[in-house]
Amino acid sequence: MNATMPAPHPNQSLMQSIAVVYQRYLRGEIGIHRYSCLVDELIEQYASSSLL
């Protein structure tokens, strides 16, 4: 994971994590492309952690 996004909290759902990133987008902290990339990264992380 990159330095611009904190690691997801272990008890935080995927949707909660995406909502945090969406709030950053709405505040203008990140652009739409970055938002999309971060959501993709979150989905990959949650998918890989669910396989453990």
Does residue 5 sit within a domain?
no
Q: Please tell me the pTM assigned to this model.
A: 0.74
CA distances from 24 to 7, 29, 32, 35, 48 (A): 15, 5, 10, 8, 24
pLDDT, one tens digit per residue, over 11-22 is 789 999 999 999
Counting the structural domains of the chain, the total is: 1
Q: Is residue 9 part of a domain?
A: no
- Phi/psi region, residue 13 (left: phi>0; alpha: psi -120 to 50; beta: rest), is beta
Residue 3 in any domain: the answer is: no
- Residue 44 belongs to domain spanning: 14-50
Report yes or no on 32 lying in a domain. Answer: yes
> Which tens digit of pLDDT belongs to each residue from 1-52?
454 555 656 678 999 999 999 999 999 999 999 999 999 999 999 999 877 6
